[in-house]
Chain A
């Protein structure tokens, strides 16, 4: 019986008509041409561990040199952070990932997420800077690698999100001056490339501040990222606000709620709930965009990979290096995107359940 169902499946999905069958055969032929050489290169003939690049150079063109990643993984993940202290950024990464995962679980959605985040971020700060509890102090110029990418993302989103809500509320406030300022800011930031904001932060911010005040490169980049994220998130939140039926606003008014009570108790809880899936998509975009800080000279994950390639022994293995970078980003982004799709389905089901 089983053989029959497999045949039936093949027939329905791959050979339902002559053109379809031709398409299948052509695709299979292409796969046959492309896949085996790739598997040979990436796995079978690849050099996985090697003390130096000699073995890799010998295998150039035949097999991938994953030994590059194996040899450089500490620098790629932790940048120039002191070698003996690498457990600290590793622990900080784990805490940040745990915070994100915990905030994603619907069972844990309650008020105590806020103190949890505060405690988690404080712990990350203590771990990274040190200077207390017997941890040696590490200045933030030496932070780098994966933790920098995660920090830029986390702090960027955590600070940009409340700002974005205020911007979205301002854009819909009906007060012409406030509306104008919010629209002006949002459209200005969304109309220019992120690079120009980063350049602005790296060369213009020092000019904006009084002479003796200097702020470091990391903070400047973080400010630019926050402004950028706030403008994009504000538009997502606005979409959520617009989707709330007018009756909700009117009912809140009829109860005599003040503007802030109406907003905090009636409008925002519903609007944010609707906007979670698009918000997560914006988060994914933002996570990918943190890679741009490389251009103004910060050592994020992509940047440490690029720097590793400049060492004379390991030049020329760019394809392997960037495939590895792609894999790391892919893991984080796919996790977020799968989560967003599941949540969207769940929320849609809950909504349908409420209607009936």
Chain B
């Protein structure tokens, strides 16, 4: 009869000696693990040997050598990294990566803003607003993102007019079937200096906040942090702008022939992808924000005001930190989802990383390397963000006694 005697490793000493019997849990654990490892190694070896044989049969040279060859295909959106068809595959993939980051960053910022607004609207005491927000969330969450992307793409390319009959919702902003045109400040050297001044302002604001915290700890009095930081952030660029002669010329899109010239242009692919990602992700963020706000007990607010904190301060020092503890981890995973979902770009022809890697695979036949590149990039992003998240969670976690 096989029966294990108690659980191993309880007291040490006699119990920790491994006996050569099938009843010893630790021995069996070792056997299981050895078997699992052997199975994985065997399957891996089998797959790799098949792959090598297949590659040889198809005369495909493995390795990353193809990255140095001329790509020979054009890319529609190269606003961040200059590129021409004569450049290498490596450069094409870098362009794709830059395009992924471009849509992901814009998507994350806009989805956060929209999601927070909708989440708060759902909590509103105004029945109409709350119901509308709830309807938005229910509808958008339950329709696949791919359907929504196709929908937006169809709206832009099929239902918006040709440039001559452009829809102009705001002065200077044109919606046409070739994308969205809008005015931007014409670039001048002063803008570069303003950026530099703003970067300096960021450093100064961080230093000021640090000093203010130390001072509050020492004297108990709180210097005006928010106003001071805002001044440090906004004043330097404004002074530089004024000193540089206040360049205010706008580059406005104008109809030239069959299309617009000047201003900034968002392609239909980019606009559809960004709209889809923002609307879809915002519905998830709205639910997270709502749950986060509801998770803070009402008594917290009352206790803060009983301590004499003004409404704004109570919100910032008492309620928000507790709500954020419930909001930040799930919202980060939504940011990751948005970044991963941006790979659906391939379905509507926006040249993101996956789309360009796919073209590369089709042209060179280097399937394994191409997919390995895609996976490596996304895994790096995911692992980096979760490492950051773990650090943040450890920082804000409740210290339990």
Chain A contact residues, CB within 8 Å of chain B: 13-14, 16, 20, 23-24, 27-28, 61, 175-178, 181, 187-188, 190-196, 199-200, 203-204, 206-211, 253, 256, 284, 288-289, 291-292, 294-295, 302, 306, 316-319, 321-323, 325-326, 329-330, 333-334, 337
Contact = CB atoms under 8 A, between A and B. Distances in A.
Given A295-B346, A322-B147, A334 B142 contact: yes
14 contacts: A14-B127, A177-B36, A181-B36, A191-B375, A192-B378, A196-B354, A196-B374, A208-B50, A209-B50, A291-B147, A294-B347, A295-B347, A326-B147, A326-B151
A318 B37 contact: no
Given A190-B382, A295-B347, A27 B142 contact: no
Contacts of B159: 61, 319
Interface in B121-151: 124-129, 132, 138-139, 141-148, 150-151
Contacts of B146: 291-292, 294, 302
B295 interface: no
Interface string B150-162: 1101110111000
Q: How large is the interface on B (under 10, 10 to 19, 20 to 34, 35 or more residues)?
A: 35 or more
Given A14-B126, A192-B379, A306 B346 contact: no
Interface string B323-350: 0000000000000000011011011000
Nearest to B157: A318
Contact of B151 (A28, A200, A291, A318): A318
B128 A14 contact: yes
Interface in B348-401: 354, 358, 361, 367-368, 371, 374-375, 378-379, 382-383
Contacts of A316: 158
B126 A23 contact: yes
B188 interface: no
A291 B148 CA distance: 11
Interface centre among A28, A192, A284, A337 (most CB of B within 10 A): A192
A192 B346 contact: no
Nearest to B57: A211
Nearest to A203: B367
Contacts of B379: 188, 191-192
A176 B33 contact: yes
Interface centre among B138, B147, B150, B361 (most CB of A within 10 A): B147
